[in-house]
Amino acid sequence: MENTLSSTRNVHYHSAKYVRTDANPADHITRGLSANELNDPNHMWWRGAPWMKDPPEKWPNDPIPPTADPPYTRIAESIPTPLIDFERYSTLNKAIKVTGFVLRYIQRSLINSTNTKLKEKFNKIPVSSIRLLTALERTDQFDIWRANTRLDHAVIPSETRSPILIPTSKDSKLARLIIADVHETMFHAGTENVLNQLKQNYWIPRSRQLVKSQVRSCIPCRKSNNLPYSYTATPPLPSDRVSISKPFQSTGIDFIGPFISKENSKITVQIIDSFWSKWHAEYLTTIRDSKKDPDPLHAYRSSSISPKPGAIVLIIDESGNTPRSTWHMAKILSLSGSEATLKLHTGRTIQRPINLLIPLELDAELDPSESNLISNHPIKHSMITRSES
């Protein structure tokens, strides 16, 4: 159908002819005929138009007037489809096995094939859509793309002198599979170690950015290297601690009982006024900037990520007797001040301080039954006071 339309559109408009309705047999049926007219053997429907028996020079010549439709241009975009879709594979070994199986099948199919064009197309080296400088590329005896470097005279393996070239786009799945394989082979080493090992056999443009991204997205590395949540913000002091009151009127633990004194002495009033003046000027300004941070390096040993319900975290073992790889994972259900309610994989619900939780930068959806437990309570001071009624 597409070929017919294409050939018809390529015909110039004045090459077509127009047949009038009274001379077109097809129009008689569409416009209606009686049974007697249709049964007439001499009718145009059965005999055809009379002018069809004449030579073409005598046919009716009614040219079609040119239409006022503007010309149009068809744009065909070719989207290259890779033979092997690497997005379907999670490891490099699996992708290599599938690719080898497909290529062996194609080679066996071409042995007995008589289609020479198909063989030529198979033997032709594909041209990448991402081309680098031609002077930096070459192919070896196995038609593998390799990068030309300035280390031709170095006493190093040939794979390092001319590493395999992996053209990359904005996010190449093949490059990520190779980096992930090197990262796991080196037992989850850091960015620099993985990058140095990668350059022994491969040359990948933007390799440092890709290696950093892969190391940061590695779940085992997150479990081993991520930092716990930071301490919550210090809550405001209760009114009993910042307002003028009698000694021991509001205290957490009453050690000496009620303090009874006579207030009929003028010197006592002066001492009290002097005490509260110093208390406002010195003590209040001192505790204003105090924070619950016993470790001066805490800012460098905690994560900048804020906890939230649904986050997957790693629970720190306070005993220090178990390795980090055996710590339990849990999901945050709710937050209340400096504590979090967690749900373990066994379904048990526990509470732990947020500074003992290490975020894995993974979020999970909360079940409807769990969403009822979410409550963001305001942060309150941990001191419990006893005030006079």
Alpha helices in 235-335 (DSSP H): 239-242, 266-278, 284-288
Hey, what CATH class is 302-371 in? mainly beta
Neighbours of 66 (CB within 10 A): 8
Tell me the C-alpha distance between 334 and 376, whole Å. 7
Average pLDDT rounded to a whole number, residues 83-93: 86
Query: Which residues face 164 on adjacent strands?
Result: 146, 202
pLDDT of residue 324: 85
Neighbours of 42 (CB within 10 A): 6
The residue assigned the tokens 């680098």 is 132
Average pLDDT rounded to a whole number, residues 269-288: 71
Tell me the C-alpha distance between 226 and 167, whole Å. 32
Confidence grade of residue 331 (pLDDT, cut at 50, 70, 90): very high
Average pLDDT rounded to a whole number, residues 165-181: 85
Confidence grade of residue 67 (pLDDT, cut at 50, 70, 90): low
Confidence grade of residue 68 (pLDDT, cut at 50, 70, 90): low
- Asked if residues 310 and 366 have their Cβ atoms less than 8 Å apart, the reply is yes
Predicted confidence (pLDDT) at residue 219 exceeds the cutoff of 60: yes
pLDDT of residue 92: 92
Taking alpha carbons only, the member of 178, 177, 173, 176 closest to residue 209 is: 176
Sort strands 164-165 and 202-203 into parallel, antiparallel or unpaired: parallel
Tell me the C-alpha distance between 357 and 341, whole Å. 11
- Asked if residues 163 and 199 have their Cβ atoms less than 8 Å apart, the reply is yes
Amino acid at 320: G
Average pLDDT rounded to a whole number, residues 218-229: 87
Q: Which CATH architecture has domain 134-217?
A: Orthogonal Bundle (1.10)
Alpha helices in 11-64 (DSSP H): 25-31, 35-39, 44-47
Confidence grade of residue 251 (pLDDT, cut at 50, 70, 90): low
Predicted confidence (pLDDT) at residue 292 exceeds the cutoff of 70: no
Query: Domain residues of the chain, as ranges?
Result: 2-58, 86-123, 134-217, 241-288, 302-371
**To the nearest whole number, what is the mean pLDDT of the chain?**
76
pLDDT of residue 387: 46
Alpha helices in the chain (DSSP H): 2-9, 25-31, 35-39, 44-47, 92-111, 116-123, 158-161, 173-185, 191-198, 207-216, 219-225, 239-242, 266-278, 284-288, 368-371
pLDDT of residue 245: 81
pLDDT of residue 368: 62
CA of 218: how far to CAs of 26, 187, 193, 212, in Å?
A: 72, 12, 15, 10
pLDDT tens, position by position, 46-63: 877 777 788 877 777 766
112 vs 211, which has greater pLDDT?
Answer: 211
143 vs 307, which has greater pLDDT?
Answer: 307
